[in-house]
Amino acid sequence: MKTLFVNESEAKRDWFVIDAQGKPVGRVAAKAAYMLRGKHKLTYSPHQEMGDYVVIINAEKAVMTGNKTTDKIYHHHTGFVGGLRSVTYAKLLERHPTKPVMQAIKGMLPKGPLGRKLLTNVKVYAGATHPHTAQNPQAVEV
């Protein structure tokens, strides 16, 4: 048996759409990260970009279980002294409805150049419409 290696430029890349309405943010993010990495394919390789494109719609209607809506806090640093900024999930959802889902997916991808490249293959939209209908994305159930 020989190990099958596929060149990244020859890899078949499909488009998938995930409807996040009423689904937990973590489950949607886990499914998206799994498909972005390409772990559902036979040609999966941990050091190559073999995954598919993922479109997530209704990101603002994804739910958080328990008290995480008020208790979960997102932190970021501005780079200046004393620049730690914090915002709750509810406030972040109000300002940037797609950001919690993107942050969850980003945390599930590898750190470094490969993870940053994979993050460009996910498109997150707050509403039910998206401009990628020409790619004929297949619906995926979470």
pLDDT of residue 43: 87
Domain count, the chain: 1
What residues does 53 pair with on adjacent strands?
A: 15
Q: Is residue 56 part of a domain?
A: yes
Per the structure, the complete domain to which residue 25 belongs is given by 14-140
Please give the model's pTM, rounded to 2 decimal places. 0.93
Taking each helix axis from N to C terminus, what angle separates 25-37 and 99-108, rounded to the nearest 10 degrees? 50
Q: Are residues 86 and 92 in contact, defined by beta-carbon separation less than 8 angstroms?
A: no
Residue 73's CATH number: 3.90.1180.10
Residues 6+ apart with CB under 8 A from 42: 4
In a domain, 112, yes or no: yes
The answer to whether residue 73 sits within a structural domain is yes
pLDDT for the residue 110: 97
The confidence score (pLDDT) of residue 4 equals 75
What does the pLDDT look like over 79-121, one tens digit per residue? 999 999 999 999 999 999 999 999 999 999 999 999 999 999 9
Q: Quick: pLDDT tens for 34-89.
A: 999 999 998 898 999 999 999 999 999 999 999 999 999 999 999 999 999 999 99
pLDDT grade for 19, boundaries at 50, 70 and 90: very high
- The confidence band for 17, taking pLDDT boundaries of 50, 70 and 90, is very high
Among residues 15, 22, 87, 106, the alpha carbon closest in space to that of 59 is found at: 22
Q: Which pLDDT tens digit goes with each residue over 110-127?
A: 999 999 999 999 999 999
**Residue 74 placed within a domain:** yes
Question: 73-77 and 84-88: which strand pairing?
Answer: antiparallel
What pLDDT, on the 0 to 100 scale, is given for residue 8? Answer: 85
- 5 inside domain: no
How does residue 1 score in pLDDT terms, banded at 50, 70 and 90? confident
